[in-house]
Structure 1
């Protein structure tokens, strides 16, 4: 069964409130949706989240690459030749990982629908449960404390706290949040490349001295600074996670061989899709380094693919997939959030469909 067409649309999804990190501030998601159709009418859906500050991919760039470069190479090819389709997507151009991810997610969705099987089963997994976190974006200390209390009230037991814009204030903010939520709540800190090596060690050692029990610190220094990550890891007890340092299996090999971090954060918008994400998870498993699966600010389409990946792979032990909870009106349905748990349907493919009151409009 061959691929007949690949179409792209753009839609803007306002957030409930602005999302602020050390790298950017946004009040809406600009979602690029891919619809892949087979000759028999089966459709596969994928999506991409433009994140110029991280992947370098803009909305216009994603759309242009899919329409002019990737799609023409896939149309007419059999959907069952998954590895070949993935190879074509990855070798179609340099970079552009978000474009590649959107198309490859649509390929997996269509193939699994063709075989009438959920994606997580196709990947060899079961619906094991992983606890999701909820993120606090950077803000004034009092607001961040209020947000933390609300998150606990909403039924979450894991909080991810954005940091990195002021290392001294970061010490105070996380200290106040720990005091506010108590010792039974898991706290993760994401600095988004905002600290130096020296600052990172001082910040983390301060929290360790004060027994704040931070579960992990994510990407404290610049993405290219693997030696810096290794230096921090060597000088603190708190586990260190790579995020922006990890795009490809080659990046994973470098991080693992250098023993630079304790965890890897896999995101489909960075890896370029599911197949390379699986390769990274497998490499990390061989090196006995556990993985988290996270997302950018994305809609349920691409987040659903990440959920299926996470529940299928045994070395993915943590998730950070709260992005759809930030959207004011989510246009898709198929994954269910219940407090800190995520559930996928037993439908084939991603199990995602567009809600009736959100028409599919091309732009």
Structure 2
């Protein structure tokens, strides 16, 4: 059935982000929520957040672009929209806006066709994935106190921030290892905050405590960043990359240069789930890992990331899909999180729906 209506909410909430990284902690989060409704009343929900410190688009930019596309979208079938998504608007520099629309269109098409969201990726290969939990730039004892209830909930992987002070960052991780022992996996993300010398010193300390992987040790602007990544791997530490990965060409180059073991997949960076899937497949095909990350969005975007994670060949990593903020949920989902796992529900589409009254409460504008 043709799409009859598209509703776009430009939302913003004040938050106290608990997992502070070297960029600082978020105080305001912008997210754009999209609902497509067809003539039969079926709804497809999408969402994306402009990625802080990474993209330059704002929630207002996203919302304005999507609202401008409404006349071109209205009257199309969901499958038609997906076949010519870039005809709807100029999404140059607006990957998050494109992502929100594509998630909604895939969700609507899947509901109409009575298939899960993962159908667009060839179908899911499992029904659950392991999850990690975040620990920010905290003093060692505070990091342990934050981790204890997470471990009690059977979280077995902790993602610990670093990249500000190599010695203090190392001490935080050593203290966590001493407290929880070898049964907990520890990974760290420096967000490119180290110099090459600091990154190599830090690597040697972390090899001693069996760190799972070291994410973005230095920024891609560092002249010899590829050499640094290779040297870290040569010293026995796996490397994950985020700030170095923005396109399928980046993925191919990093794999071909043997610069990493894991690619961080934030769907909005690639302009939508289908592009993100193609990037993830580069790592999958090379026998490496693609790790889904959705740190700022609600259940809607997390469910899309979950569907992609379920469709990967390689399932050896905990995904970053349970970093939930302390806020009133404005969406609901049919999936479940328990015992450190995200488990699939029997649902068509991505399994999440917005709660309009709650979305309205945090919307700056609605059209």
**Counterpart in 2 of 1:194?**
193
Q: In 2 relative to 1, CA 224–38 (structure 1 residues): closer, same or farther, beyond 3 Å?
A: farther
Counterpart-to-counterpart distance in 2, 1:327 and 1:352: 19
Q: In 2 relative to 1, CA 328–248 (structure 1 residues): closer, same or farther, beyond 3 Å?
A: same
**Counterpart in 2 of 1:175?**
174
Counterpart-to-counterpart distance in 2, 1:50 and 1:81: 26
Counterpart-to-counterpart distance in 2, 1:353 and 1:226: 45
**Counterpart in 2 of 1:332?**
331
Counterpart-to-counterpart distance in 2, 1:138 and 1:338: 26
**Counterpart in 2 of 1:132?**
131
1:250-289 to structure 2, matched below 5 A, reads: 250-289=249-288
Deviates more, 1:345-354 or 1:105-114: 345-354
**Counterpart in 2 of 1:212?**
209
Deviations 1:256-279 (A, max 9, x none): 222211111111121111110111
**Counterpart in 1 of 2:141?**
142
- Once the two structures are TM-superposed, the CA of residue 353 in structure 1 deviates from its matched residue by 2.1
Q: In 2 relative to 1, CA 81–356 (structure 1 residues): closer, same or farther, beyond 3 Å?
A: closer
Structure 2: where are the runs of 5+ without partners? none
Any conservation in 2 of the 1:292–1:317 contact (CA below 8 Å)?
no
1:154 matched to 2:135? The reply is no
Structure 1: where are the runs of 5+ without partners? none
Counterpart-to-counterpart distance in 2, 1:226 and 1:311: 36
**Counterpart in 2 of 1:113?**
111
Question: Which of 93, 103, 115 lines up with 2:101 in the alignment?
Answer: 103
Q: In 2 relative to 1, CA 30–259 (structure 1 residues): closer, same or farther, beyond 3 Å?
A: same
Any conservation in 1 of the 2:82–2:105 contact (CA below 8 Å)?
no
Counterpart-to-counterpart distance in 1, 2:194 and 2:98: 31
Counterpart-to-counterpart distance in 1, 2:14 and 2:280: 32
Counterpart-to-counterpart distance in 1, 2:205 and 2:177: 13
- Once the two structures are TM-superposed, the CA of residue 22 in structure 1 deviates from its matched residue by 1.0
Aligned residues: 358
- Once the two structures are TM-superposed, the CA of residue 74 in structure 1 deviates from its matched residue by 3.3
**Counterpart in 2 of 1:48?**
48
Any conservation in 2 of the 1:162–1:191 contact (CA below 8 Å)?
yes
- Once the two structures are TM-superposed, the CA of residue 357 in structure 1 deviates from its matched residue by 6.7
Counterpart-to-counterpart distance in 2, 1:356 and 1:2: 22
Counterpart-to-counterpart distance in 1, 2:182 and 2:164: 25
Any conservation in 2 of the 1:37–1:44 contact (CA below 8 Å)?
yes
**Counterpart in 2 of 1:241?**
240
Any conservation in 2 of the 1:118–1:348 contact (CA below 8 Å)?
yes
**Counterpart in 1 of 2:344?**
344
| TM score, norm. by length of structure 1 | 0.90
Any conservation in 2 of the 1:267–1:293 contact (CA below 8 Å)?
yes
**Counterpart in 1 of 2:202?**
203
Q: In 2 relative to 1, CA 207–315 (structure 1 residues): closer, same or farther, beyond 3 Å?
A: closer
Counterpart-to-counterpart distance in 1, 2:336 and 2:28: 21
Counterpart-to-counterpart distance in 2, 1:330 and 1:95: 29
- Once the two structures are TM-superposed, the CA of residue 344 in structure 1 deviates from its matched residue by 3.0
Any conservation in 2 of the 1:149–1:180 contact (CA below 8 Å)?
no
Q: In 2 relative to 1, CA 224–4 (structure 1 residues): closer, same or farther, beyond 3 Å?
A: farther
Any conservation in 2 of the 1:226–1:245 contact (CA below 8 Å)?
no
**Counterpart in 2 of 1:184?**
183
**Counterpart in 2 of 1:310?**
309
Counterpart-to-counterpart distance in 1, 2:223 and 2:83: 32
| TM score, norm. by length of structure 2 | 0.89
Deviations 1:18-75 (A, max 9, x none): 331112312453331111122332211111113331222322222122223x445433
- Once the two structures are TM-superposed, the CA of residue 14 in structure 1 deviates from its matched residue by 5.3
Any conservation in 2 of the 1:201–1:232 contact (CA below 8 Å)?
no
For 1:109, what is the secondary structure of its paired residue?
helix
